Amino acid sequence: MRVRTVLLLGIIVALLGVTGCSITCPECPQAVLCPECPPEPACLECPPELTCPEVKCPEVPGPVTDEPSFAMSYPRVDGSTSAHPLAVLIACELLDVPYRWEVDPFEGIKRLVPDISETGKEHVAEHIVRSVVHQGTHGSYVNLIENRADLILVARLPSADELEWAEDWGVELDIKAVALDAFVFLFNRHNPVSGLTVEEIQDIYTGKINNWDQVGGDDAEIHAYQRDENSGSQELMKTLVMKGLEMTEPGEPMILLGMMGPINRLSEDRDGIGYSVYFFEEFMAPNEEIKLVEVDGILPSYETIAARKYPFTTEVYAVVRKDLDETSGAYQLRDWLLSAEGQKAVAKSGYVPID
């Protein structure tokens, strides 16, 4: 509770800007601004004359101005595409802005967005839209390392490339898990196969298995789609599933760009297999033509992820730089996410709480 209060105070004071009553100090030529007091007609709670050491303002709440100043302490948040709804929900919850799910007309992805139609909250909502922009897993790690982001919410640990980049910049990363997700495999719903073993998945992606009849399906060539290098999904595939095994070198049509790539392709390809993360497939890109694949007999679901029974249960991480001041908004926000209240926000987003 204390962490959340400190974070909220920093945000609210910044949002209020420099409105307030002016108290003249008789011992110095400067006026002392009271940011907490109503600006008009005067702050009746403050004595008219105070000496500098005694200038204090009682905790009188002031109104949020129509156009608040956003040179604020709320951190610059970046992250994975799949973690964007969580980042928006956190900002909306802390800044008391309503939110809703809507479909992005360009990408077809369902996104959680601040409701800018709420009277009196328009400017705060617009600020959240502008400042909570996720550049994808790899891009967000780069932005954090190069100090273009204060905190990132990502679906995987940093890759070897990203750790090397951090070392080049003299940056150490402070990484903590804040939610659970899962790495999932996807079929077209018309594929008669319902599940695979871990070994079968490995054999498909190393080229040992190349026909569906080898795993109980029809006599048809398997179209094993991959994602682009350094994407969150591709790194999870290599570290969680392949575990050092070399994946086949796919031709260009078999490498799908962006998280909608596998969804779009598999909705049309009965003989394809691809991969994504559970939260994205279930909440951001639900598609009736796609089905989740059982792995070792276990279907990914909220319950099997929470119990960590699904073999490829993963963690979502909040990452900051180790040299970050512990009083900063990013540090406070990261710790708040691990609190009971923060974990309630995680659950509200659709993610599985870490505990």
pLDDT for residue 118: 67
The residue with greater pLDDT, 167 or 54, is 167
Distance between CA atoms of 331 and 20, rounded to whole angstroms?
A: 29
pLDDT of residue 59: 46
Question: What is the Cα–Cα distance from 199 to 249, expressed in whole angstroms?
Answer: 19
Q: Between β-strands 272-277 and 173-188, what pairing exists: parallel, antiparallel or unpaired? A: antiparallel
Count the Cβ atoms, other than its own, within 10 Å of residue 147.
11
78 bridge partner residues: 152
pLDDT at 51 over 70: no
Residue 346 corresponds to which tokens in the numbers above? Answer: 């995680």
**pLDDT score of 15:** 45
Share of the chain above pLDDT 70, in %: 79
Of the spans 40-49, 128-137, 198-207, 222-231, which averages the highest pLDDT?
Answer: 198-207
Residue 355 has pLDDT above 80, yes or no: no
Question: Six-digit token pair at 143?
Answer: 């932005």
- Cβ-count burial of 313 within 10 angstroms (0-12 exposed, 13-18 middle, 19+ buried)? buried
pLDDT at 22: 37
Model pLDDT, residue 56 = 47
Q: Rounded mean pLDDT of 291-295? A: 98
As a whole number, the mean pLDDT across the chain is: 83
**Domains, in order of start, for the chain:** 18-54 (no CATH), 77-179+322-353 (3.40.190), 181-313 (3.40.190.10)
What residue type is assigned to position 188 of the chain?
Answer: N
- Runs of H (alpha helix) within 189-328: 198-206, 232-236, 260-266, 278-279, 302-306
Asked if residues 33 and 39 have their Cβ atoms less than 8 Å apart, the reply is no
Strands (E), 228-312: 255-256, 272-277, 290-292, 294-295
- φ and ψ of 138, to 5 deg: -65, -45
Residues sharing a CB contact under 8 Å with residue 117, sequence separation 6 or more, in sequence order = none
Give 301-327 pLDDT, tens digit per residue: 999 999 999 999 999 999 999 999 988
**Residue 179 in contact with residue 319, Cβ under 8 Å?**
no
The yes-or-no verdict on residue 43 having pLDDT over 60 is no
Residue 287 near residue 153, CB atoms below 8 Å: no
For residue 39, is pLDDT > 80? no
